[in-house]
Amino acid sequence: RKEVEQDPGPFNVPEGATVAFNCTYSNSASQSFFWYRQDCRKEPKLLMSVYSSGNEDGRFTAQLNRASQYISLLIRDSKLSDSATYLCVGNTGNQFYFGTGTSLTVIP
Amino acid sequence: DGGITQSPKYLFRKEGQNVTLSCEQNLNHDAMYWYRQDPGQGLRLIYYSQIVNDFQKGDIAEGYSVSREKKESFPLTLTSAQQNPTAFYLCASSARWSGTVRPVEQYFGPGTRLTVT
């Protein structure tokens, strides 16, 4: 079983919609989690980190449920520029475990 | 500007040639990592180093070698033993985990896209 698993999508949503991605992890010792966005043929860029119950930054909210071992990312009021692949990452010490990513396309 | 640089951005090589990819960071991070990403797939860890002169194999180290002689630099060499080297190679760095609850964030360089024919 993979350390971190994500629904690959694709998610196609209209501009202005709210979209949520879920991610599950298998290592209960994981200390913190991250969401990265990766544009086509570019490097991943850190979007949010979460190590307590959740974190919010503008239109983006990340939540962590340690009892059920899942992390979610909520994007409100989707913009065309939000189209990208979103990577869920778990962290234990200096080890990072990447999901395969969820593809999002925001449609005009 | 602080960050991670990788060079070159694109690299073309003939099969059987050794290749060295450069990674330099000025973030004063102790830990550095090399990942490989294939089309439509997630990142796979090749090697990582938590301190100068020390490094560990990741999940797919066969056919690769690294060195960590300086804190700022972590070059990756692909030997002729690497079966399928064509991929997008990403270097990353992070502070060393200090045992606290605060997250250790990892930052990526722009990547090197290697094509071997």
Q: pLDDT (tens digit, 9 = 90+) per residue, A34-57?
A: 999 999 999 999 999 987 888 899
B101: pLDDT confidence band, cut at 50, 70 and 90? low
Return d(Cα B101, Cα A79) in angstroms, integer: 33
Q: Which of B4, B47, B108 to mutate to test the interface with A (most CBs of A within 10 A)?
A: B108
Q: Which residue has the higher pLDDT, B41 or B37?
A: B37
- Residue pair A88/A96 in contact (Cβ under 8 Å)? The answer is no
Mean pLDDT, all residues of chain A: 93
Among all residues of chain B, which has the CA nearest to that of A101? B42
Q: Exposure of B33 by Cβ count < 10 A (0-12 exposed, 13-18 middle, 19+ buried)?
A: buried
Residue B35 pLDDT: 97
Query: So what's the pLDDT on residue A1?
Result: 65
Chain A residues with beta carbon closer than 8 angstroms to that of B48: 94
Query: Which residue in A44, A94, A99 is closest to B94 by CB distance?
Result: A94
In this prediction, residue A104 has a pLDDT band, given cuts at 50, 70 and 90, of very high
Distance from CA of A39 to the nearest CA of B (A): 11
Amino acid at B16: G
Among chain A, residues having any CB pair with chain B shorter than 8 Å are: 31-34, 41-46, 49-51, 87, 89, 91, 93-94, 96, 98-101
Does pLDDT of B72 surpass 70? yes
B-chain residues within 8 Å CB-CB of A85? none
Tell whether the model's pLDDT for residue A95 goes beyond 90. Answer: no
CA distance A50 to B93: 19
Q: What pLDDT score was predicted for residue B1?
A: 59
Supply the pLDDT for residue A77: 98
pLDDT surpassing 80 at residue B97: no
Average pLDDT over residues B46-75: 96
**Mean pLDDT value of segment B32-52:** 93
Q: Report pLDDT digits (tens) over A54-87.
A: 889 999 999 999 999 999 999 999 999 999 999 9
Q: B103–A49: do the CB atoms touch at under 8 Å?
A: yes
pLDDT band at A101 (very low <50, low <70, confident <90, very high): very high
Strand ranges in chain A using DSSP code E only, listed in sequence order: 4-6, 11-14, 19-25, 32-38, 44-50, 54-57, 60-65, 70-75, 84-92, 95-98, 102-107
